[in-house]
Structure 1
Amino acid sequence: MPQYQQFPLPDTAEGLTEAEILTWHVKPGDTVRVNDVFVEIETAKAAVELPCPWDGVVTELLVQVGQTVEVGTPIITIDVDPAGAAAVAAPAAPAPAVNGAAPEAAAPVEERVANLVGYGPRTGAAKRRARKDAPAAASVAAPVVPAVVEPPRVEAPVVTQHVVVEPVSGGYVPLAKPPVRKLAKDLGVDLYGITGSGPGGVITREDVEQALTAPAPASVEVVAGARERRVPIKGVRKATAQAMVDSAFTAPHVTEFLTVDVTPMMELRARLKNSPEFRDVKLTPLAFAAKAVVLAARRTPDVNAAWDAAAQEIVYKDYVHLGIAAATPRGLVVPKVRDADRLSLRELAIALDELATVARNGKTTPADMVGGTITITNVGVFGVDTGTPIINPGEVAILAFGAIRDMPWVVDGQVVPRKVCQLALSFDHRVVDGQQGSRFLADVGALLADPGVALTY
């Protein structure tokens, strides 16, 4: 007999309460194995791929793409003993014709089951012995009812897969290829309101384009030439917004600015890039800023602390988990470089490059975005000189690293062109006083202006 297991949405990171279904990698009828990725979800922290904990056949998708559900909500049903259902269906043909007509008689039944319930025959399933007390008529219908949990009222003739699958409770997913889904998303077309014209009810590009130009229902007011679009606030954007509001209205922010001649740093970078040790490393100015931050934090540990309101304590940390604010297609994320204070400049450069690549691909794991101690936001990559960054919750300082520009600068009484950038440090005045904040910012600037100063730290 079929054995159904429902997979509840797990908490993929400490404290998460909900997630959005981004992509189903399976559909009803697909065979899955342990550790097969069957769905991609987006939490408040990142996009996460979930592996299947069982072998079996997918019978129902309980949540639609784009739907947000709470942790613990069942999202998929899997038959972990599909061979049991096949075994019941096996004696549908007369017993004497097992080696003769039975396969021919069984073929149309299996084909109809594939259209009706979404899964095909499994190799070797008929080897299991049928139950002797099962009537022949019931043996044909058995795989249909339990596999889909089809309501008894659905008895209309089977025309297409689309018509049959649609009545399935809550788990109906429109049949469309990925490019068509992307087109619909880009155009703002709801696939759930389209009847597919392709084989088996598959939605085609033409269906999407036709739905876009189709007249709206009379009950909906449409403004000609409307120039607005509305996007639900959810996922990373929702979490980022809440975190920034909480931080801005909880921690008293102070921001200080410093303009620095970083010509020596850029000259050192040029020399290192030609050295054998750094020849295969993407050595960016951000790597120098990261190294300066972790070195300066040793002299001013206040900026690498946390305010524990519940315990009424300031927590000073003897490690630096450096956060790097990264813009991704899903919004702002802040992955961490763990124990950045223990890394050399070369190791920091490699870690930052890997972090940026993973973040751009939307594959940063939730575990990589928690537990930071201090953050850098590199606004310079956008050509921005500086800003007043908002501190990440759980931290007390954030440094904005501005664009490096050729500017006139006074050196030994002479105005000469130099490489100049601006730094901005926002800090929580409950933990960091003006003296500590100013000293830390000055130390970072000194290290960028003259990297040799690091030998004195």
Structure 2
Amino acid sequence: MNAEFRLPDLGEGLTEAEVVQWLVAPGDTVALNQTLAEVETAKAVVELPSPYAGTVSTLHAEAGETVAVGSALIEFDIEGEDEPTVADDAGAKAQPNLVGYGAAPTATGRPARRARRAGSSRPTADTAVLEAAPHDASPSANTATVIARPRSTPPVRAHAKRLGIDLVLVAAEVGDRVTTRNDVDAYAERIGRPATAPTDATPDAGATAPSSPAALFGAGGEAVRETRIPIRGVRKHTAAAMVQSAFTAPHVTVFHTVDVTATMDLLATLREDRSLAEHRIGPLAVVAKAVCLALGRTPGLNSRWDEAAGEIVQHHYVDLGIAAATDRGLIVPNIRDADRMTLTDLATALKYLAETARSGKTSPAELAGGTFSISNIGVFGVDAGTPILPPGQSGILAVGAVRRQPWEYRGEIALRQLMTLSLSFDHRLMDGAEGARFLKDVADILAEPGRAMLLR
């Protein structure tokens, strides 16, 4: 019997997803819960497990194609008399919601991925490309006929694409492990194509910068005057959310420059403590702790405006959003119950969020919700800005770079370490005095970390 698998509801009201890559092809035999494909929603890259065991008969979407939730994605030939689907209230065929439906782990804890079979109607690698590869990079003859999709993260695939590198060729050298950015760069250097793509510090540059001389000129040598890039995925979602927020909530932004020399001295002391070495406590962790303490004194900034219900919802917990710039665009994963964490807990959580964001593995659940956010613009050397509120939140704090500058200190001019804080808040929920009070509380803790002992 045939069983059709439609794109499931991936949660958070997402209505579509883009097929990043297929991990199976027509003719492949798949097991229950085997990973079928990677799809990119407006929030994260998700691996889709198979709800059936059988043989793949049809793929209804190509890699790079955007598919609506509920649309046919893949079709199977399965054994049995009845198609394993359930009837909904309207009598139509329906399938289980796969939110939280995990892929079967292997002994290493990674989802199982099958190599495509030789003779498949949709091979994983162009054998002509393999044959044209440099001699030392060419896989064996056996690899050319039976080869798995290269295992890598979305940022690594994007980096390889900008350099014009076929990941299949890199994966042939790497072997069974996941292909990294360094692997791509090493391969590019070896074939005489140095890595000239933008670095992680400028993630947006890759969207418009040409990756090779061929991108600058057409076939006849004429200059290319513009490039059109589809608006989709995270960037599309972020743009819609920012427009909604900017034109719904009346934003007010206030600024405050604070002497954080005492905080930086504290961090230097903590770095010398060997028992804390693994936590990598930095300025952002201290800011996060200060924000959580200050929110307890200014609950209006930890609230949301419920227009439909005509209510102000005050949160008695802090799910702290941390804005992260990635190759896929801006995302804001959350630290759950951040107000209950110690400084070392927050440092560990920040490290985890940064690593998962860079690897493209931030889950939809980690991006959901959030009651207040922090944007660390200081990592880009920026001092201040006017951040836009994430939808559903009433406050966001932009943290500027720490700079050593002349400053009045104890009646004299001295070189001190300064940081500028920029707070945007929803004026429907807060007036200027409350916003200023919150910002002053955060600044006081950063100026004198010992003050945190006085706050409740």
* TM-score scaled by length of structure 1: 0.71
Where do 1:2-401 residues align within 5 Å? Answer: 3-81=1-79, 115=119, 185-186=161-162, 224-401=222-399
Checking the alignment, whether the CA contact within 8 Å between 1:6 and 1:78 is kept in structure 2 is yes
Q: Evaluate the alpha carbon distance shift between residue 387 and residue 7 of structure 1 in structure 2; reply closer, same or farther with a 3 A threshold.
A: same
Residue matched to 1:433 = 431
Task: Sort the Cα spacing of 1:253 and 1:411 in 2 relative to 1 into closer, same or farther, 3 A.
Answer: same
Separation in 1 of the partners of 2:160 and 2:405? Answer: 48
Deviation at 1:323, TM superposition (A): 0.1
Tell me the distance in 2 between the aligned counterparts of 1:382 and 1:360.
16
Are the structure 2 counterparts of residues 4 and 213 from structure 1 closer, same or farther at C-alpha, using a change threshold of 3 Å? farther
Query: Larger radius of gyration, structure 1 or 2?
Result: 1
Cα distance between partner residues in 1 of 2:148 and 2:360 = 23
- The within-5 A match list for 1:394-413 is 394-413=392-411
Q: Look up the SS of the partner of 1:400 in the other structure.
A: strand
Matched residues, number = 348
Q: Structure 2 vs 1, CA of residues 295 and 227 (structure 1 numbering), >3 Å: closer, same or farther?
A: same
Two-structure CA RMSD over aligned residues (Å): 3.1
Change (3 A) 1:369 1:59: same
In structure 1, C-alpha distance between the alignment counterparts of 2:159 and 2:272, rounded to whole Å? 46
Supply the AA of the counterpart residue of 1:279: A
- Residues 214, 325 of structure 1: alpha-carbon distance in 2 compared, 3 angstrom cutoff: closer
Give the unaligned 5+ runs of structure 1.
83-112, 120-174, 190-208, 217-221
The equivalent of 2:440 in structure 1 is: 442
Distance of 1:34 and 1:432 partners within structure 2:
52
Shift in Å, 1:354:
0.3
Q: CA distance change for structure 1 residues 246 and 69 in 2, over 3 Å: closer, same or farther?
A: same
- Where 2:346 maps in the other structure, the secondary structure is helix
**In 1, Cα distance between the equivalents of 2:234 and 2:309?**
29
Decide whether aligned partners of structure 1 residues 5 and 433 sit closer, same or farther in structure 2, where only a CA change above 3 A counts: same
Q: Which residue of 2 aligns with 1:424?
A: 422
- How far the C-alpha of 1:226 sits from its partner, in A, is 1.1
CA shift at 1:228, angstroms?
1.9
Deviation for aligned residue 1:212: 9.0
The residue type equivalent to 1:419 in the other structure is: Q
Q: Which letter does structure 2 place at the counterpart of 1:402?
A: G
Q: Residues 215, 292 of structure 1: CA spacing in aligned structure 2 closer, same or farther, 3 A cutoff?
A: closer
Corresponding residue SS for 2:445: helix
Aligned letter for 2:379? V
What secondary structure is seen at the aligned counterpart in 1 of 2:278? coil
Counterpart CA distance in 2 for 1:346 and 1:235 is 34
Q: 1:407 Cα deviation (Å)?
A: 0.7
In the alignment, residue 10 of structure 2 is paired with which amino acid? T
- Deviation, 1:31, is 2.1
Unaligned runs of 5+ in 2: 81-116, 124-146, 166-211
State the 1:393 CA deviation.
0.2
Counting aligned pairs with the same residue, the percent is 53
Contact 1:29 1:118 in 2 (8 A): no
For 1:268, give the aligned amino acid.
L
Whole-angstrom distance in 1 between the partners of 2:316 and 2:225: 52
Q: Which amino acid in the other structure matches residue 377 of structure 1? A: S
Q: How big is the shift at 1:81?
A: 2.9
Q: 1:215 to 1:243 in 2, by over 3 A?
A: closer
SS at match of 1:280: helix
Q: Distance in 2 between matches of 1:215 and 1:337?
A: 47
Task: Indicate the SS of the match to 1:454.
Answer: helix
Post-superposition offset of 1:401? 0.3
1:371-406 Cα shifts (integer Å, max 9, x gaps): 100000000011111100000000000000000011
- Tell me, in whole angstroms, the C-alpha distance in 2 between the residues paired with 1:402 and 1:451: 18
Q: Is the 8 A contact 1:187 1:212 kept in 2?
A: no
For 2:430 and 2:159, locate their aligned partners in 1 and report how far apart those are by CA, in whole Å: 50
What secondary structure sits across from 2:374 in the alignment?
strand
Residues 118, 279 of structure 1: CA spacing in aligned structure 2 closer, same or farther, 3 A cutoff? closer
| Amino acid paired to 1:405 | R
The separation in 2 between residues aligned to 1:182 and 1:328, in whole angstroms, is: 11
Q: CA deviation at 1:13?
A: 1.4
Change in 2 beyond 3 A, CA 1:17/1:116:
closer
Cα distance in 1 for residues equivalent to 2:119 and 2:298: 68
The separation in 1 between residues aligned to 2:120 and 2:23, in whole angstroms, is 20
Pick which of 47-56 and 237-246 moved more. Answer: 47-56
In 2, distance between residues paired with 1:429 and 1:239? 24
- Residue 117 to residue 261, structure 1, CA distance change in 2 (3 Å): closer
Distance (whole Å) between structure 1 residues aligned to residue 122 and residue 263 of structure 2: 63
Aligned counterparts of 1:295 and 1:118: Cα–Cα separation in 2 = 56
Partner of 1:375: helix, strand, or coil? strand
Task: State the 1:326 CA deviation.
Answer: 0.1
**Distance (Å, rounded) in 2 between the aligned partners of 1:437 and 1:232:** 39
Which residue in 2 is equivalent to 1:152? none
Amino acid at match of 1:59: S
CA 1:60 to 1:297, structure 2 compared with 1: closer, same or farther past 3 Å?
Answer: same
Task: List per-residue Cα deviations over 1:185-225 (Å, max 9, x = no partner).
Answer: 54899xxxxxxxxxxxxxxxxxxx9x999997xxxxx9920
Contact 1:293–1:444 (CA<8 Å) still a contact in 2? yes
In structure 2, distance between residues paired with 1:390 and 1:20:
27
Query: In the aligned structure 1, how far is the partner of 2:218 from the partner of 2:302?
Result: 58
Q: Is the CA contact 2:218–2:224 (under 8 Å) kept in the aligned structure 1?
A: no
